Amino acid sequence: MDKKYGFLFLAMLAPTILSGCSSEKVDEENEAEEEENAGEIQLHILNVEDYIAEDEEDEETHEKSYGVETLFEAYCKDVLGKDVNVVYETTDTPETMLMLLQTGKYYDLICPSDYMIQRMGREGLIEPLDLSLVSTEKEFEYKDEDEIVFEFSTGDVDNYTNYSSRKVREYLDNCFLDQKCYEGKDAEYIASHPLAIGYMWGTLGILFNPTYGTFEEEDTISDMQSWDAFWNETYKNKSSVKDSMRDTFAVGVIHKYYEDFELNGVSKKGFKSLMTDYREGNLTAEEYNAEIDKIFNMDENYVGNKKDVIYSVLDDLHELKKNIRGLEVDTGKNDIVNGYIGVNCAWSGDAVYSMELGEAADPSVSLWYSVPEEGSNIWFDGWCMPKNSNRTSTQKALAMEFLNFISSPAVAALNMEFTGYTSFAGGDSILDLVREWYDCRYNEETEEFEEVEADEIAANLESGDWQEVDLSYFFKDTLVDYEDKDMKFYTNEDTGFYLPFKEDGNISCGGAFFCQYPDEEVINRCCVMKDFGEYNETITKMWEQFKSTTLEPWAFALLALEVGAALGIGVYFFIKKKQKMALKAARQNID
């Protein structure tokens, strides 16, 4: 039979065939739902390793701390009346997650990075999240031997909408507006159906030891406020950068376009001039961020043909490679503590890890983290739902309940304590936890926050003993029991100063507090480097060329040192475990 007539014949029969299939499918789904509701329901979740709170027990006191998996299963049983088994798996990278989805592996939720979420959306592998599916006005108490060890309550809106930082969420949401998942959808639908729920966030910056070797402390602190430090011969053979196509390319783009440039005979402003315009009030924060985003993400109307830009940045990266000690994936955070290098291109979360590990090893050595004044990459990891026709409506609803659960400040505090990274959530529990860590008014011995009179605060600020940090940009509209004044923190030398490095007071550097919560100006000069789309292959080829050039012989010494660096990990996690058992913020109520 001719194909076109065969299709016509099938089309004539389609209503009858589809009617029967539809009826059978409905019956099958109903049976599946009935079986599911009558017994255990499995929820398949994929995350990267060591990136969610797990059950732990103190070896000395035998005091238990409960992880997300245990608490969520208890929540489902006690509050939702569902017997749920969380099948939790881990992997190494977002790229591996993509491969698993492409090969048909089933998951209800996964937690990749921003650029990978964009790519998965573009390839039609994930679906928008329906926030209306989550329960509201629910309370939950988890008891151990009749003692309440964890509790929280939800409001009349889903936790993500209630508690996610408004400022930070804007960056994430703007990444996904042009995805295929949203074709034909209006603004109202997009607002209530995010492509991803933000989980953790941070910045890319420079981790450094200002007293390393022959470094001059003041000069080093000043030099590290610019990405040019990796090209600066003062630090030759003493620094390392990420063996990461995206992150190191981002550094190269900023370096390439720091000064003004021309495109087709027209003068264009680089990062330096745009920063000057912003500081002089010629650009608002929004306008400034929009302009640097054009360079950062290679807007062809601003910087020219993307392929040409990519290979022009390669020239800068070749020069960088001559100056660094080597490339690293995950060893840099240990290498700088062990003294193998003095400067490292680092993610903010890893910088916190290095600072804590370094303090435990040698309290006399201080590590600092800088977000250079030219700008940087702001990154996110988020939860999303892979498309899968086998997922039942019950599984989908429970997946959304998991996201609502993990977005509550109480659970977010658990995950912050366990991972050391910075949660997307604000809220009272997070504010309390951050105060315990960084506000000098918190008394560690009494485990209480001490009220200090206004005149005493003023005196400490005037003397320079204290420093005021306003985090209202992050916590605004997420708090219940606090006022605007409570979003101001006070730090001292022990709890982590931010460091002004210029006379104008611009702050680009600090310790762990700065890593986790930089001031608002730092956020304004950060952009999200989006997925390269059709230029992914071009970027990959460029990166292969970059890596194929031979490192200096001494650079390979880093490989031999990795074993020694790894020994520090065990010490760090032993200390971290003791700290987590002492913290009480995860047990506080959430209104």
Reported confidence tier of residue 568, pLDDT bands at 50, 70, 90: very low
pLDDT digits (tens, 9 = 90+) for 203-213: 999 999 999 99
Cβ burial 117-137 (10 Å sphere, 16+ → b, else e): bbbbbbeebbbbbebebbeee
Helix, strand, coil percentages (3-state) for the chain, rounded to 5, are: 50, 20, 30
The one-letter code for the residue type at 189 is Y
527 pLDDT higher than 80: yes
Residues 383/199, Cβ–Cβ less than 8 Å: yes
End-to-end CA distance of the chain: 69
Cα–Cα separations (whole angstroms), residue 398 to 30, 368, 492: 17, 42, 44
Strand, helix or coil for residue 391? coil
pLDDT digits (tens, 9 = 90+) for 11-27: 333 443 344 444 444 44
> At a CB cut-off of 8 Å and minimum separation 6, what does 19 contact?
none
Which helix H or strand E contains 339, and what residues bound it?
Answer: none
Give the bridge partners for 43, in sequence order: 86
Q: Where are the alpha helices (DSSP H) in 372-453?
A: 393-406, 409-419, 428-438
Instruction: Give pLDDT, residue 189.
Output: 86
Instruction: Give pLDDT, residue 24.
Output: 46
- Span 119-124, mean pLDDT? 90
Instruction: Give pLDDT, residue 135.
Output: 87
Reported confidence tier of residue 258, pLDDT bands at 50, 70, 90: very high
**Which is nearest to 106 in space by CA: 12, 43, 160, 166?**
43
Euclidean distance between CA atoms 391 and 106, whole angstroms:
9
pLDDT digits (tens, 9 = 90+) for 336-345: 999 999 999 9
194 pLDDT higher than 60: yes
Mean pLDDT check: name the lowest of 223-237, 454-468, 480-494. Answer: 480-494
pLDDT digits (tens, 9 = 90+) for 43-81: 999 999 999 999 998 888 888 889 999 999 999 999 999
> At a CB cut-off of 8 Å and minimum separation 6, what does 451 contact?
441
Instruction: Give pLDDT, residue 80.
Output: 94
CATH 3.40.190.10 applies to domain 40-201+382-424: yes
Residue count of the chain, please give it.
591
Euclidean distance between CA atoms 513 and 493, whole angstroms:
11
- Span 134-154, mean pLDDT? 87
- List the structure tokens of 346: 């680092």
Of 190-199, 407-416, 504-513, which has the strongest mean pLDDT? 407-416
More confident residue, 34 or 482: 482
Euclidean distance between CA atoms 61 and 480, whole angstroms:
34
Instruction: Give pLDDT, residue 507.
Output: 74
Euclidean distance between CA atoms 120 and 123, whole angstroms:
5
Reported confidence tier of residue 146, pLDDT bands at 50, 70, 90: confident
Instruction: Give pLDDT, residue 504.
Output: 62
Mean pLDDT check: name the lowest of 336-350, 370-384, 402-416, 565-579. Answer: 565-579
105 pLDDT higher than 90: yes
Question: What value does the mean pLDDT of the chain take?
Answer: 85
pLDDT digits (tens, 9 = 90+) for 467-510: 999 999 999 999 988 887 789 999 988 888 787 765 566 678 99
Share of the chain above pLDDT 70, in %: 85
pLDDT digits (tens, 9 = 90+) for 279-331: 899 999 999 999 999 999 999 999 999 999 999 999 999 999 999 999 998 89
Spell out the domain ranges in the chain: 40-201+382-424
387 pLDDT higher than 70: yes
- Span 394-399, mean pLDDT? 96
Share of the chain above pLDDT 90, in %: 65
Residues 201/378, Cβ–Cβ less than 8 Å: yes
Q: Whole-prediction pTM value?
A: 0.86
Euclidean distance between CA atoms 377 and 527, whole angstroms:
5
Tell me the three-class secondary structure of 511-532, residue by residue: CHHHHHCCCHHHHHCEECCCCC
Reported confidence tier of residue 550, pLDDT bands at 50, 70, 90: low
268 pLDDT higher than 90: yes
